[in-house]
């Protein structure tokens, strides 16, 4: 499990994630990298939740392999190189699906469950977008746009409970608890649909500065980490250092908080 948060405002989009990575064996590590700049010099980033790898290759490494193609570094895939003046985020999402699902997961039986969130700008566009690619075992639908240019606010994935309670005022088990008291599933769904807009806690303004969006994204990830840490009986599958990146129209993809595993002089090309 993990927690991913993106906060989209007028000036760009902020991406934040924890660094916990859990495995079927029960092992949990706290140094996973879940945010990647998909093309050096372009305002495009990706975040990942779900399976940490496909076969023997980690998702982080695979996304960097894809970055190499997008950068024109693969002689076998020259048509994958992104033209800085003409690319769209939708085209990037389609390529992400093709690479991770068609090329990597499907030949291994399509047993991977992973969601990739793509954040950034299409060439020449004034506002950012957010797209998602969902590998659902043997199925992987076409990429979906979860936030168009004129849609704003936070989106979270992975571990939902803490932020669902904080922002929606209703936890993920609301419907289940409702039906335990003799009400139908339809009544529970109807109650949730009516209550959530009334209880929604507005934590952002689309005109807020990018630095405040960074603070909000960090707070939302920290809140989830703390909730999981102190929740009795809940698996401790969220945690570790937080990584944060901001994507803006003119500055592009910039790291705000990032862990380096090697001396700084060895990180220039990472």
CA distance 247 to 118: 11
More confident residue, 26 or 217: 217
CA distance 80 to 70: 5
What's the pTM?
A: 0.90
**pLDDT confidence tier of residue 267, bands split at 50, 70 and 90:** low
In percent, how much of the chain has pLDDT > 90?
69
| Closest C-alpha among 254, 156, 153 to residue 207 | 153
pLDDT tens track for 37-47: 999 999 999 99
Mean pLDDT of 201-208: 94
Exposed, middle or buried: residue 191 (CB in 10 Å: 0-12, 13-18, 19+)? middle
Query: Is the separation of the CB atoms in 225 and 28 below 8 Å?
Result: no
| Average pLDDT in the chain | 91
Query: Is the separation of the CB atoms in 173 and 164 below 8 Å?
Result: no
Q: Does residue 202 register a pLDDT over 70?
A: yes
- Which two tokens mark 216? 């909000």
pLDDT tens track for 96-145: 999 999 999 999 888 889 999 999 999 999 999 999 999 999 999 999 99
Mean pLDDT of 226-251: 91
Mean pLDDT of 50-68: 89
In percent, how much of the chain has pLDDT > 70?
93
Highest mean pLDDT among 20-34, 60-74, 177-191: 60-74
| CATH topology for the 3-157+209-266 domain | 3.60.20
Mean pLDDT of 79-95: 96
Query: Is the separation of the CB atoms in 172 and 156 below 8 Å?
Result: no
- Which two tokens mark 251? 């500055």
Q: Which sequence spans correspond to the domains of the chain? A: 3-157+209-266
- Which two tokens mark 63? 């996304």
Q: Tell me the three state secondary structure of residue 97.
A: helix
Phi, psi of 228 (to 5 degrees): -65, -40
Q: Does residue 260 register a pLDDT over 70?
A: no
CA distance 63 to 46: 8
């Amino acid at each position: 499990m993990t927690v991913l948060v993106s906060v989209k405002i007028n000036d760009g989009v902020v991406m934040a994630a924890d660094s916990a990575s859990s495995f079927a064996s029960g092992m949990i590590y706290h140094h996973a990298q879940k945010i990647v700049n998909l093309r050096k010099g372009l305002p495009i980033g990706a975040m990942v939740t779900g399976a940490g790898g496909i076969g023997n290759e980690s998702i982080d490494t695979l996304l960097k392999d894809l970055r190499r193609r997008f950068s024109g570094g693969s002689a076998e895939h020259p048509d994958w190189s992104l033209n800085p003046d003409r690319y769209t985020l939708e085209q990037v999402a389609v390529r992400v699906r093709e690479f991770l699902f068609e090329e990597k997961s499907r030949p291994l039986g399509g047993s991977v469950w992973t969601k990739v969130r793509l954040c950034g700008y299409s060439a020449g566009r004034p506002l950012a977008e957010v797209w998602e690619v969902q590998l659902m075992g043997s199925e992987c639908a076409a990429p979906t746009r979860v936030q168009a240019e004129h849609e704003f606010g936070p989106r979270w994935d992975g571990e939902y409970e803490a932020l669902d309670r904080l922002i929606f005022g209703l936890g993920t088990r609301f419907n289940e608890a409702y039906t335990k008291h003799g009400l139908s599933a339809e009544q529970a769904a109807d109650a949730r649909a009516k209550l959530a807009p009334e209880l929604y806690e507005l934590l952002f303004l689309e005109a807020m500065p990018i630095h405040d969006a960074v603070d909000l994204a960090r707070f939302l990830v920290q809140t989830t980490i703390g909730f999981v840490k102190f929740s009795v009986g809940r698996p401790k599958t969220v945690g570790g250092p937080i990584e944060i990146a901001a994507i803006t129209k003119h500055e592009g993809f910039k790291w705000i908080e990032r862990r380096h595993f090697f001396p700084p002089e060895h990180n220039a090309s990472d």
